[in-house]
Amino acid sequence: MKLSHILGAAVAAPAAVCIGRALAAKPTAAADAKIDLKNDDRAKAYGERLARMVRCETISSRDYMDLSKFEKFHSLLAELFPNVHAGCEKHVFDGSLLYKWAGRGEADPIVLMSHQDVVEAGGKWQHGPFSGEIDDEGRVWGRGTVDTKASLFCIFTALEELIGSGFVPAGDVYIASSCTEEISGPGAPATVAYLKSQGVRPSLVLDEGGMILESPMAGVKGLYAMVGVVEKGYADVKFTARSKGGHASAPGKNTPLVRLGRFMADIEDHPPFERRLSPTMEEMFRRLAPNMGFGLKTVLTNLWLFRPILLRILPAINASAGAMTQTTLAFTTAKGSDGLNVLPQEAYVTGNMRLIQHQSGPESFEAVRRIAAKYGIETEVLYEDAPCPVVGFDSKQFHLIEEVAAKVYPGVQVSPYVMTGGTDAKFYKEICPNCIRFAPLYIDEQQYGSVHALNENIFQGALPHGVDFYKQVIEKMAAIEA
């Protein structure tokens, strides 16, 4: 056989394997799935009640916490959900809430979470940010509709209706709702400290996170329930450059701000962090790939061949997906001289790091510290919170969420994913290794983009599905013990 024939066969063999694997990944039902967002009487009643919660402004602030606004919100909850308040034990931790619905003692407890505080709502909105207006499409408008008063409403309503029907859960069910989530405040830690003191070890904590989205990643067709099973760690780091200072009319070379600028550019151009496709990401790609175009499908069904290329290009083609593969460092604040014509003796920038599970905090910090040292810059870790335990997509907890989602949302594909943001659930890792981040509500592309931005809204027709989801999780909670 000629050498050219041998080389041709060597190239053709893996190509044939790749094409075969791509062709074998047939589109799933998610590609054609639809969610019925009908505006029936149930949806309208739910929408009106959520609107009342939205009209109660609950902005949290690091500078000054006005607890009276949260007390007003608590009074509204008592009015809207009388069965919960009559049938559950209630605790308040400086505005943060914890309710206990006692079960039959046949299963470990579960915690359903959704925070009550919201971020500021500046800018010009299509409808007032605290108007709670409901338009002709059935959209409830206002700050907090997506993040996260809608899921909080669904949790409370699920308990309200189950308690009203006489149902008793297999184990204790807790509702936890912090008023300090948006400022990473003390509400959730105080709640966890109380649960820990009572010896409560939940089998499942279900907090905000992924939702039900169309095309959750560029190139993917279909409806997916994106279930967060990984939350990265968090750190704030300060980088300081020093010099003798001086007058700006006679600047020397490599002044503090210049060195900081070069350091930041170096980090951005050459991130020092290890990129890796975790088992969670590989499983996510496996579930998304069947509903992708042939090119992307070929890549994602053949990671054995394309993994190095994918890792290299992913941050450039999809920043969110890229952040799922590595620790990230974003520069957030800066300080130089107080005088416009004075060279600073000291200047600093701060960076926010999100720490990936496969590269520890100390290892990530050292990678940055080495680069900072090249520019004569000191590194100081101001705050660190380690990455959370990974919830396996083969765990009973994940299978419960998957089973319930499939029943409530027929045809919708469930996929695990890596959360790049933070939630209150991170504080619960002390008492529960199975913290899942998923709010069971459908949102469209505009609603997804409205979180912490203008014109936040949610369909009232999505609310009945959310209520039914939480009901079924409660009804099936004993399955986690099986």
Length of the chain (residues): 482
| Structural domain range at position 278 | 233-385
Q: Tell which of 351, 385, 419 closes a domain.
A: 385
Q: Which residues pair with 239 in a beta bridge?
A: 349, 379
* CA pair distance 128, 145, nearest whole angstrom: 13
pLDDT at 11 over 60: no
Residue 17, domain member (yes or no): no
> Do 324 and 381 share a domain, yes or no?
yes
> Do 454 and 440 share a domain, yes or no?
yes
* CA pair distance 240, 242, nearest whole angstrom: 7
- Entry pTM: 0.93
Q: What is the CATH number of the domain that holds 104?
A: 3.40.630.10
The pair of structure tokens assigned to 404 is 């319930």
Cβ neighbours of residue 9 closer than 8 Å, sequence gap 6 or more:
none
Instruction: Lowest mean pLDDT of 13-17, 114-118, 234-238, 477-481, name the range.
Output: 13-17
> Do 283 and 138 share a domain, yes or no?
no
> Do 250 and 160 share a domain, yes or no?
no
Residue 9 pLDDT = 41
> Do 227 and 357 share a domain, yes or no?
no
At 356-367, the pLDDT tens digits run 999 989 999 999
Residue 32, domain member (yes or no): no
Average pLDDT over all residues of the chain: 94
> Do 131 and 237 share a domain, yes or no?
no
At 418-457, the pLDDT tens digits run 998 899 999 999 999 999 999 999 999 999 999 999 999 9
Backbone angles phi, psi at 306, to 5 degrees: -100, 0
Beta strand spans in 356-454 (E): 377-385, 413-419, 435-442
Give me the mean pLDDT over the 1-20 stretch: 57
pLDDT at 4 over 60: no
pLDDT at 147 over 90: yes
Residue 112, domain member (yes or no): yes
Q: Which residues pair with 255 in a beta bridge?
A: none
> Do 342 and 209 share a domain, yes or no?
no
At 307-322, the pLDDT tens digits run 998 999 888 878 889 9
Residue 16, domain member (yes or no): no
What count of other Cβ atoms lies within 10 Å of the Cβ of residue 227?
25
> Do 113 and 157 share a domain, yes or no?
yes
206 CA to centre of own chain: 12
Residue 33, domain member (yes or no): no
Residue 10 pLDDT = 38
Q: Tell which of 385, 407, 441 closes a domain.
A: 385
Residue 269 pLDDT = 95
Residue 19, domain member (yes or no): no
Backbone angles phi, psi at 344, to 5 degrees: -70, 140
Q: What is the CATH number of the domain that holds 294?
A: 3.30.70.360
* pLDDT confidence tier of residue 481, bands split at 50, 70 and 90: confident
> Do 415 and 337 share a domain, yes or no?
no
Number of domains observed in the structure of the chain = 2
Residue 20, domain member (yes or no): no
At 43-87, the pLDDT tens digits run 999 999 999 999 999 999 988 899 999 999 999 999 999 999 999
Q: Tell which of 363, 385, 407 closes a domain.
A: 385
> Do 408 and 469 share a domain, yes or no?
yes
Give me the mean pLDDT over the 201-211 stretch: 98
Residue 243, domain member (yes or no): yes
> Do 60 and 167 share a domain, yes or no?
yes
Amino acid (one-letter) located at 399: H
* pLDDT confidence tier of residue 249, bands split at 50, 70 and 90: confident
> Do 358 and 416 share a domain, yes or no?
no
